[in-house]
Amino acid sequence: MTYSDHPDRCVRVVIEGRVQGVWYRGGTVDTAEALGLCGWVRNRRDGSVEAVFSGPAAAVDAMLARCHQGPSAARIDSVTTAPWSGKVGPDFRQEPTA
């Protein structure tokens, strides 16, 4: 996907549970890249993972479904989604902990 100021869908997601130290971010990067999404993923100091997904609605929906599964070592307690209006850049990347 190329950068767009107006993607079909752009969301911010917070995933809670056992999601750090289980390759959640790495798997998210791999899946988002395979789906052609732009955005980022990062650990949060509270133990959750936060991500922004931007791209075609069907690809964002597929990524959100993956967020509910996570890698086999993860335990997903909740996935909270909200619209995101910030810019996300031309690719999908892992960001530092915030």
Give me the catalytic one of 18, 25, 42, 45: 25
Catalytic residue check, 43: yes
Which tokens sit at 60?
Answer: 């964002």
**What global pTM score does this model have?**
0.91
Q: What is the pLDDT of residue 87?
A: 85
Query: 3-class DSSP state for residue 54?
Result: strand
Q: What mean pLDDT comes out for the span 76-87?
A: 95
Q: Taking the domain 9-84, which CATH number applies?
A: 3.30.70.100
Residue with tokens 């619209």: 83
Give the residue from 46, 25, 47, 27 showing the smallest Cα distance to 94.
25
pLDDT in tens, 41-51: 999 999 999 99
Kindly tell me if the per-residue pLDDT of 13 is higher than 90.
Answer: yes
Catalytic residue check, 25: yes
Give me the catalytic one of 12, 18, 42, 43: 43
User: To the nearest whole percent, how much of the chain has pLDDT over 70?
Assistant: 93
Domain parsing of the chain, residue ranges: 9-84
